A and B are shown apart, each in its own frame.
Chain A
Amino acid sequence: MSTLEENAGPVLDPTSDFNIFDPEFVRDPYPTMHDIRESKCPIAHSERWGGSWFPTRYEDVVAIAQEHETFTSRDIVVVPRAAAAEGAYAGVAAPPITSDPPDHHWHRRLILPVFAPQAVAKYEQSTRDLCNQLIDKFIDKGHADAATDYAQQIPVRVIATMLGVPVEMSDEFTSWVRGVLEIGLTDPKVRLENRINIISFFKQQLEDRKANPRENDLITDLLNSGDKYPVTDQYVMGVCNLMLVAGIDTTWSAIGSSLWHLAQHPEHCERLRSTPELWATAIEELLRAYSPVTMARIVDHDTEFQGCPMKAGDRILMSFPAANRDPRQFDNPDEVILDREHNRHVAFGSGIHRCAGSNLARLELRVALQVWLERIPKFSLVDPASVTWAGGQVHGPRICNVRF
């Protein structure tokens, strides 16, 4: 049950048979989330894709996220991987996102300083320069694909710079990440090939740093942290793997969705340009309304949650996008309100696995949108029907042609 063909077929009742890769759900998941959330069964279950639970109410998603002892992070991908593929992972996970306590504490402690707000601020100017260079390439044409020509190009370069790996390899990194997190989720062969690409690449990078340690270099610093924590090569490779996989697709999807929204709301573009103090709440609102990420949890032991009999090993899809559209938590949840002040969104999750890169993601999203609106204040979709989307783990536009 790991390919689109095996899992195809009409969904008669989403509360008992939802399909996260159904083309309509991938394009616009919010109506289905609404139907499940307001049904008698707001925690849906489906046998498709190896079986999973799908909580849709804010309160339930947050409660599960915070109960990390019962709902573990031993696998956080929305579909299981093939048992035959285990060996190829070489013991490399994606710490701290795949770590549980007690190791989770030091797995996270080691990387948090790199992502603190004051630490990521140093990437603002280079991100701004990058965004301007990207726009230089297409502004005279009067049209562009906001997803592939712009959004997709930004986070990969920021992350490559942070990791100290060649920025010129950005297209390859993007292709690997899509291979494991997007295309590979419905094609096990692609997933495995690209996982091996990533692990092999970072294995070489680690060997290089051991032979030639660098100053102010994240990989060198992690390798040299053995005096404080039981750091292994698998851990360092895992962190690199996480930063690449979790740092690229997610933020590019948030930038892309936000541009897709702004292309259809010239009044929002105008307000953001005339009222710059709106940016702080606007970024949080766009993150809420277009939260890209769904993470999985694995049930540790048989338990009952809100009347649902969950068995050890069951998969739960933590739909932060569904939680963030729950009317019990947000007034008019389907409306983007740029100055929404009460906004307790969980786009970055909740509990001990709060997205470590959240401050970097916010910075990239804000700078990408600010530079776009400075250079391209008025733009619109060429054809709303031609926009394509990815979904499942990360939701965002993949082709989004705009004219200006």
Chain B
Amino acid sequence: MRVKVDADSCQGQQMCSIAAPEVFGSDELGHATVLITGDLPAELHTKARRAQANCPEDAIIIEE
């Protein structure tokens, strides 16, 4: 599993970094960044999916 943030959709809600702080962070404007750009370890898959589900802007992309 890999994750990306659609920068055009992200509004800086930060719901992703709350749901999965190991996977998502914040840039200097408060918009989401991806902290793990390669394959996510299996133990973070559930949190990454939760981050995607909680984003009101549909800005989290998961590739499996």
Residues A329-367 near B (CB distance < 8 A): 341-346, 348, 350-352, 354, 358-359
Complex alpha-carbon distance, A158 and B11, angstroms = 24
Tell which of A112, A344, A348, A352 touches B55, judged by Cβ atoms closer than 8 Å: A344
Inter-chain contacts of B55 with A (CB < 8 A):
344
B contact residues, range:
10 to 19
Known: A116-B29, A342-B50. A351 touches B57 (CB 8 A): yes
Expressed in whole angstroms, the minimum distance between the Cβ of A50 and any Cβ of chain B is: 29
Looking at the assembled complex, report how far the CB atom of B13 sits from the nearest CB atom of chain A, in whole angstroms. Answer: 6
Query: How far is B55's CA from A218's CA once the two chains are assembled, in angstroms?
Result: 30
**Are A116 and B11 CB-contacts (below 8 A) given A284-B18, A341-B50?**
no
Total inter-chain residue pairs, C-beta < 8 Å: 57
Within 8 A of A (CB), among B47-62: 50, 53-57
| Cβ-based interface call for A141 (8 A) | no
Is there an interface contact between B13 and A358, defined as CB atoms closer than 8 Å? yes
Range class of the A interface residue count: 20 to 34
Q: Given that A284-B18, A343-B54 are known contacts, is A113 also in contact with B29, CB under 8 Å in the complex?
A: yes
* B45 CB to nearest A CB, Å: 14
Kindly identify which residue among A109, A116, A350 contacts B56, using a CB–CB cutoff of 8 Å: A350
| A386 is an interface residue with CB less than 8 A from chain B | no
- B residues 3-57 with Cβ under 8 Å of A? 11-15, 17-19, 26-30, 50, 53-57
Q: How far is the CA of A349 from the CA of B12 in the complex (A)?
A: 11
Pick 10 A–B contacts, CB within 8 A, sort by A. A66-B57, A112-B29, A112-B30, A113-B29, A119-B30, A342-B53, A344-B15, A350-B13, A350-B56, A358-B13
State the A residues within 8 Å of B (CB): 62, 66, 109, 112-113, 115-119, 280, 284, 341-346, 348, 350-352, 354, 358-359
